[in-house]
A and B are shown apart, each in its own frame.
Chain A
Amino acid sequence: MKIFIKGLGTTNRKIMIAVYLWLINSAFSALIVAPLYFMFKGDFSRSLMGEKLLKGSDLLWLGDLLYKHRNNWPSLLGSLIVTSFLFLLLYIFLNGGILGSITSQEKKVCFSSFFSDCGKYFWRFLRVFLISIVSYAIIFLLLGKAISSLLKIWTKSASTEWPLILSSNLKFLLFILLFSLVRMFFDYVRIRLVVEKSRKAIRATLLTFSFLKKRFWKAWSLYLTIALISIFFLVIFLAVSSHFPGVMNLFLFSILWQQVYVFSRMWTKVLFFSTEFHLFIS
């Protein structure tokens, strides 16, 4: 609990980290969405069908849109995949700024120091990312395959749909938990590199094993608590969103509310690192 409160305090004091992340995410998203905006403009701005866009999803205009651009969707999807990969690289870069700012003695976060830390830690974090890819591959390909095979034995002889529902959801839950474990592990690897001012990613990885061996349940329960907070935000967002009427005068409010939710995701990310940092140094 103390660690959590400390982490919460750090996250809120250094709220600018979340603001920077939100700004960067928004800028990147805007770059991806810009061509789509012009595509929509070309298709709908002079058509009365554009008014239907205000009323939400309608299969008449959606059908037209999908048909008209049916040859473009593969290339759009390809672009999305490439830009997503670039964003992933960008976040490896930004992780340095997040952790550098959290671990810094400075009470406030400034733009220049944030980006200075991004550059400072980038190559180390890239090496950590590559190691983590291997871990994800082992977990999901090998372990995941084993889990799937076991569950298949159960579902192969199923007489009703229940085993299929339970096994697919259990598999999903297991993968989420495994993913969270691996992610948590490598968070501590990064924290170690920053706190110890080390460049040795493999050494930091090995030391994290012994660190978590002693504090595994504490670390994981902390991690899952924050994950639950993140899910809580999602539930609140969905619950409030479902009561929005699709009219123009609430349009700005709905955009604002969406951005509040996106910001909450950035804030939660910072909270993860903050609490992990405080557990690491405790």
Chain B
Amino acid sequence: MRRKRPKRLLILLMGLLASNFLILSSLSAAENLKYEIWVKLDNQEKMLHGKERLFWSNKTSDEIKEIWFHLYYNAFKNEKSTLMQEAREQGRFLGLEVGDGEWGWIEVTEIKLADGRDLKPSMEFITPDEPLHPDDQTVMRVILPEPLMPGKGVELELEFQAKIPKGILRSGYYKDSYFISQWFPKPGVYEEGKGWNCHEYHLNSEFYADFADFTVHITVPENFVVGASGKMIEAARNKEEKAMTYTFYQENIHDFAWTADPRFLKIERDFIASKEITEEEYTEIAHRLGLPVAEVRLNDVRMILLIEPEHKVQIERHFKALKAAIKYYGLWYGPYPYETITMVDPPFRTGSGGMEYPTLFTAGTGIIRNERVLSPEGVIVHEYGHGYWYGLCANNEFEEAWLDEGINSYSESKVLEKAYGKDVLSFSINRIPLACFLRLPEYFGYELDRALAIHVVKIDPIMTESWKFMNRASYTLNVYMRAETCLHTLERVVGEDMMLRILRTFQTRFRFKHPRTEDFIAVVNEVTGRDFTWFFDELFFRTLDFDYGLSSLVCEKKPTHWRGVFDFEGRKEELTKKEIRDMEKKERKEKRGEKEKDLYITRLMARRFGEARIGQDLRLKLKVVFEDGSEEIREWDGQERWELFVFEKNSPVLYAQLDPETIWLIDSNLTNNSIRRNPSRGGILKLTSRVFFWIQNLLQTISGWS
């Protein structure tokens, strides 16, 4: 008997081990990460009570021993979180001040495997980033009882509760209005050979996650209007609790956000591709992209607008902008792959405006708007566009923010230019746009962004991890404006059609993947057939100022006689000034009546003022225009610090221009790209007179205090 007992125990133990192995591996067939989440909104306590079922599979060749989760809401838990500490360090503490009772947090109350094994004992907060903020709780780790083998999956069940913060940084509530984002425990991205890519929630960063299928059941008070990522597939009423449960479903997205507000007006319309796009437009774009027409056709999309009642006069503006975005992003970069897009006019004071989530985005507007100012159009096109870059080509926004923000800023400016033309500079006083009363300057988006971009060249390279930029301004100006300006420059270098092909290739090749900057560079090189690595080295990876210009232009009549001592028939003879004058006088008399053909020498100095250089296979164009209307075109490789160009012509020079087509938009000083022989004052007088007028009025206003 004694002998049999150990054998039975052994068999039992082996059975247990085998069963665990089976549980961990039984879900290996899952292609995608899968979430099923049940969440109930407690409107009184401003809490979320959630249950999450998570199917996670190991698609790498590594054995994975632990899973890291984002718990983003803990960034708003107290002043010691990484985000709040960074805000304090950058002087933005006041802007992110949280009142008593308004903090937010998330707590995982239970986490276990589907077979019931509890992972909570192994749960701990970690702080993987530098500099260290040891009290941050936005990244959590659990240890698996056995390593998850390559190709195998695991099912987890979590329960959590979250306190919604009061309207702060993309998420929150105000009274009974909610915008809920980054609200559920979300695994990071496991990278083969590198481990978990799961950063803390930083002030100057956004997000990164794997694509997944989401089924989310949202229970809210019955009078609340709800919008969410994906498509609503069910709505069930609970009469006893006076609640509604809405179920949303969407495949292949990497985040899920939702909003609830009893005040929302919900309007649904369809983008019907056959009505919005003509055959000529399809043919034209197909030709430009070098694709068959069938490949550029767009799908129909259900557009859902949730708008606050006080903005309802702007419903048409919202839909017009969204249609333009769906049309042009679709034609240029690929059809929108989802059935629905939800556009949210963010609830008042929830801090959630101007933000993107897969298949849902928030815009933002005001009650008083001017027709000529592209607001809310600009933010609508921009946030929809994010769905293409961050949404479909899901780059790591922590580490390479420009791949989303920069590319999207570029593409947004192209769409707005195409759909609306120029924007109007927008200033408001007491929330009333000045454009209602004054004629304000018009501009294209890239002009404004270039003006801002040139200020940060010497601070940080574009390719900086988001939380390591010097400050918020450097982050914003680099990843949005400077990256955008560089892309506009690239477009001008390679041509508009080529740039279209680059972006379309990048979009379609990396949909539902996680591209990096090197992938984008590889696409540029492949599509253009040239090596543009230098472009990114100079402008993205380094802080090199790009500035070519013309520093001097001298034009003089070529002398026909020269002063000095000359050897003449064996003797030295001096030619003096007086003798030259007499000779010239005599020559003029003899040539009287003949058309004068003086020769002029023009000396033009081209300079490289900045550190950045153009690629060695490229040339800067130099155009020189003469008074007789003739032109000379030269090229300069721009490698050395300067180059002298000399021209001999029968006409004096009028002006010279380096890069006359302004291909190098990233140049920090376009003014020095041209030089005239004779100064011109008309424009200066006009500008000065305008400034004079403003000063006069300012002084007269000040005199009122006397």
Q: Interface residues, chain A, CB within 8 Å of chain B?
A: 25-26, 28-30, 32-33, 36-37, 40-41, 43-54, 56-68, 70, 84, 87-88, 91-92, 95, 125, 129, 132, 136, 158-162, 164-165, 168-169, 172, 183, 238, 241-242, 248, 251, 255, 258, 262, 265-266, 269
Contact across chains for A67 and B703 when beta carbons are under 8 A apart:
no
Closest residue of B by beta carbon distance from A55: B683
Q: Which of B446-483 contact A (CB under 8 A)?
A: 447-448, 450-452, 454-455
Q: Smallest CB–CB gap between B445 and chain A, Å?
A: 10
Q: Smallest CB–CB gap between A117 and chain B, Å?
A: 15
Contact across chains for A255 and B684 when beta carbons are under 8 A apart:
no
Q: A66-B451, A172-B430 are in contact. Are A47 and B348 (CB under 8 A)?
A: no
A172–B429 Cα gap in the complex (Å)? Answer: 10
Contact across chains for B447 and A58 when beta carbons are under 8 A apart:
yes
What 4 new A-B contacts, CB under 8 Å, besides A26-B696, A30-B692, A67-B455?
Answer: A47-B675, A57-B441, A160-B310, A262-B700
Contact across chains for A37 and B669 when beta carbons are under 8 A apart:
no
- Partner of A160 from B308, B438, B702 at Cβ < 8 Å: B308
Q: Across the interface, which residues of A come within 8 angstroms of B670, CB to CB? A: 49, 60-61, 64
A136–B704 Cα gap in the complex (Å)? Answer: 12
B94 within 8 A of A: no
B681-706 vs A, CB cutoff 8 Å, 1 = contact: the mask equals: 11111111101110111111011111
Contact across chains for B689 and A45 when beta carbons are under 8 A apart:
no
Q: A45-B679, A48-B655 are in contact. Are A59 and B451 (CB under 8 A)?
A: yes
Contact across chains for B454 and A25 when beta carbons are under 8 A apart:
no
Q: Smallest CB–CB gap between A190 and chain B, Å?
A: 10
Q: Smallest CB–CB gap between B497 and chain A, Å?
A: 24
B272 within 8 A of A: no
Can you list 9 A-B pairs, Cβ within 8 angstroms, ordered by A?
A: A47-B676, A51-B680, A59-B450, A64-B669, A65-B671, A161-B310, A165-B367, A169-B431, A248-B682
Q: Across the interface, which residues of A come within 8 angstroms of B684, CB to CB? A: 37, 40-41, 44-45, 50, 53
Q: Across the interface, which residues of A come within 8 angstroms of B452, CB to CB? A: 63
A98–B676 Cα gap in the complex (Å)? Answer: 49
Contact across chains for A265 and B687 when beta carbons are under 8 A apart:
no
B568 within 8 A of A: no
Q: Smallest CB–CB gap between A245 and chain B, Å?
A: 11
Contact across chains for A56 and B368 when beta carbons are under 8 A apart:
no
Ranked 4 nearest A-B pairs via Cβ: A63-B451, A53-B683, A57-B441, A45-B679
A255–B691 Cα gap in the complex (Å)? Answer: 11
- Partner of A169 from B425, B432, B695 at Cβ < 8 Å: B432
B78 within 8 A of A: no
Q: Across the interface, which residues of A come within 8 angstroms of B366, CB to CB? A: 161
Q: Smallest CB–CB gap between A31 and chain B, Å?
A: 10
A158–B438 Cα gap in the complex (Å)? Answer: 30
Contact across chains for B675 and A46 when beta carbons are under 8 A apart:
yes
Contact across chains for A59 and B696 when beta carbons are under 8 A apart:
no
Q: Smallest CB–CB gap between A185 and chain B, Å?
A: 13
- Partner of A33 from B669, B680, B695, B706 at Cβ < 8 Å: B695
A191–B686 Cα gap in the complex (Å)? Answer: 41
Q: Across the interface, which residues of B come within 8 angstroms of A61, CB to CB? A: 670-671
Q: Across the interface, which residues of B come within 8 angstroms of A58, CB to CB? A: 441, 443, 447
Q: Smallest CB–CB gap between A35 and chain B, Å?
A: 11
Q: Across the interface, which residues of A come within 8 angstroms of B683, CB to CB? A: 44, 50-54
Contact across chains for A164 and B704 when beta carbons are under 8 A apart:
no
Q: Smallest CB–CB gap between B350 and chain A, Å?
A: 12
Contact across chains for A88 and B703 when beta carbons are under 8 A apart:
yes
Closest residue of B by beta carbon distance from A164: B431
Contact across chains for B687 and A40 when beta carbons are under 8 A apart:
yes
Q: Across the interface, which residues of B come within 8 angstroms of A92, CB to CB? A: 706
Contact across chains for A60 and B450 when beta carbons are under 8 A apart:
yes
B20 within 8 A of A: no
**Candidate in B448, B451, B673 with the most chain A CB atoms within 10 angstroms:** B451
Contact across chains for A70 and B348 when beta carbons are under 8 A apart:
no
B2 within 8 A of A: no
**Candidate in A159, A172, A258 with the most chain B CB atoms within 10 angstroms:** A159
Contact across chains for B680 and A45 when beta carbons are under 8 A apart:
yes
Contact across chains for B367 and A169 when beta carbons are under 8 A apart:
no
Q: Across the interface, which residues of A come within 8 angstroms of B699, CB to CB? A: 25, 28-29, 84, 87
Closest residue of A by beta carbon distance from B698: A84
A41–B691 Cα gap in the complex (Å)? Answer: 14
Closest residue of A by beta carbon distance from B677: A46
Contact across chains for A251 and B686 when beta carbons are under 8 A apart:
yes
B437 within 8 A of A: yes
A84–B697 Cα gap in the complex (Å)? Answer: 11
Contact across chains for A67 and B668 when beta carbons are under 8 A apart:
yes
Q: Smallest CB–CB gap between A17 and chain B, Å?
A: 14
Closest residue of A by beta carbon distance from B457: A67
B175 within 8 A of A: yes
Contact across chains for A255 and B430 when beta carbons are under 8 A apart:
no
Q: Across the interface, which residues of A come within 8 angstroms of B697, CB to CB? A: 262, 265
Contact across chains for A159 and B175 when beta carbons are under 8 A apart:
yes
A56–B291 Cα gap in the complex (Å)? Answer: 42
Q: A63-B454, A84-B699 are in contact. Are A168 and B437 (CB under 8 A)?
A: no
B32 within 8 A of A: no
B672 within 8 A of A: yes
Contact across chains for A258 and B702 when beta carbons are under 8 A apart:
no
Q: Across the interface, which residues of A come within 8 angstroms of B310, CB to CB? A: 160-162
Closest residue of A by beta carbon distance from B675: A46
Q: Smallest CB–CB gap between A231 and chain B, Å?
A: 12
B674 within 8 A of A: yes
- Partner of A48 from B368, B438, B657 at Cβ < 8 Å: B657
B439 within 8 A of A: yes
- Partner of A183 from B368, B687, B704 at Cβ < 8 Å: B704
Closest residue of B by beta carbon distance from A165: B431
Q: Across the interface, which residues of A come within 8 angstroms of B691, CB to CB? A: 33, 36
A212–B66 Cα gap in the complex (Å)? Answer: 82
**Candidate in A40, A132, A158 with the most chain B CB atoms within 10 angstroms:** A40
A59–B686 Cα gap in the complex (Å)? Answer: 16
Contact across chains for A242 and B175 when beta carbons are under 8 A apart:
no
A172–B430 Cα gap in the complex (Å)? Answer: 8
Q: Across the interface, which residues of A come within 8 angstroms of B439, CB to CB? A: 241-242
Contact across chains for B693 and A262 when beta carbons are under 8 A apart:
yes
A110–B675 Cα gap in the complex (Å)? Answer: 50
Q: Which of B264-322 contact A (CB under 8 A)?
A: 308, 310
Q: Which of B656-672 contact A (CB under 8 A)?
A: 657, 662, 668-672
Q: Across the interface, which residues of B come within 8 angstroms of A241, CB to CB? A: 439
Q: A60-B450, A67-B455, A165-B431 are in contact. Are A41 and B698 (CB under 8 A)?
A: no
A84–B703 Cα gap in the complex (Å)? Answer: 9
A28–B695 Cα gap in the complex (Å)? Answer: 9
Q: Smallest CB–CB gap between B422 and chain A, Å?
A: 11
Closest residue of B by beta carbon distance from A169: B430
Q: Smallest CB–CB gap between B185 and chain A, Å?
A: 32
